[in-house]
Structure 1
């Protein structure tokens, strides 16, 4: 992963969620869930196995104040369902849920669902485990497809 290129695109490029939803191949991701309001997809640069992003389809920039309570609760229902699917498929020691991004880059609201594998030393857990600066996991297209299919199957039974 080229962190400088990523940062530049996040700050000056189009909204990555909106570009993905519009079908821009430069922003393609492997979808694991989609309904009328939400989308969940594999992180392009995962730092832990099965890292998934969940976002509302509408371009919303503030995770709390831009969503009516009912819309927020529907989004959180999807986040929870995806997190449970990640737990069933990847059996992490702990599941991290974070809403990252800012007005400076990646402004579209999205939740990161990251399952921490067991056996990771404490000093490499938490934020360290999520930072691309420490490396990303490389998967083939086939491996990503298999992961996505397993998560879709789990989600089909939940949502």
Structure 2
């Protein structure tokens, strides 16, 4: 991963979620699950196995102000179900849920779901485990597709979310 190019792209390029949803091949991600309002997809540069991003399909930028109570609740239920799938497939010691981005880059609201693998030394957990500066996992397209399928199967097996 070229961190400088990534930062430049996030700050001056198009909205990565919107162009991904529009099918732009330069912004392709392996889709885990989607319904009418939300999409879950694998992080292109994961720092832990099975790292997933979840976003509303509509371009909103603020996690609190831009969603009414019902939309926020539906999004958080979607996040929870995807996180439970990550736990079922990856067996993490802890699951981190966080929303990043700002008006300066990656503005489209999205949640990160990152399962901390068991046995990671404490000094390498939390923010350290999430920072691309400490390295990313290299997944082939086939590995990413297989992971997405396993996660999708775990979501479907729970039966809480409906496809859109």
Give the TM-score, by structure 2 length. Answer: 0.96
Extract unaligned runs of 5+ from structure 1.
none
Q: Using the alignment, how far apart are the partners of 2:104 and 2:157 within structure 1?
A: 38
Aligned length in residues: 159
Question: In the alignment, is residue 28 of structure 1 matched against residue 28 of structure 2?
Answer: yes
Following TM superposition, the consecutive aligned residue runs of length 4 or more in structure 1 with deviations greater than 4 angstroms are none
After superposition, give the CA deviation of every residue in 1:68-96 in whole Å (9 maximum; x if it has no partner): 00000000000000000000000000000
Give the Å deviation of 1:142: 1.0
Q: Using the alignment, how far apart are the partners of 2:151 and 2:118 within structure 1?
A: 19
Give the Å deviation of 1:146: 0.8
Q: Per the alignment, in what secondary structure is the counterpart of residue 53 of structure 2?
A: strand
The residue aligned with 1:132 is 132
Matches within 5 A, 1:2-151: 2-151=2-151
Give the TM-score, by structure 1 length. Answer: 0.99
The residue aligned with 2:152 is 152
Extract unaligned runs of 5+ from structure 2.
none
Q: Using the alignment, how far apart are the partners of 1:141 and 1:19 within structure 2?
A: 19
**Structural RMSD (CA):** 0.5
Give the Å deviation of 1:140: 1.0
Give the Å deviation of 1:132: 0.2
Q: Per the alignment, in what secondary structure is the counterpart of residue 36 of structure 2?
A: coil
Q: Per the alignment, in what secondary structure is the counterpart of residue 73 of structure 1?
A: helix
Q: Using the alignment, how far apart are the partners of 1:140 and 1:59 within structure 2?
A: 29
Q: Using the alignment, how far apart are the partners of 2:140 and 2:19 within structure 1?
A: 22
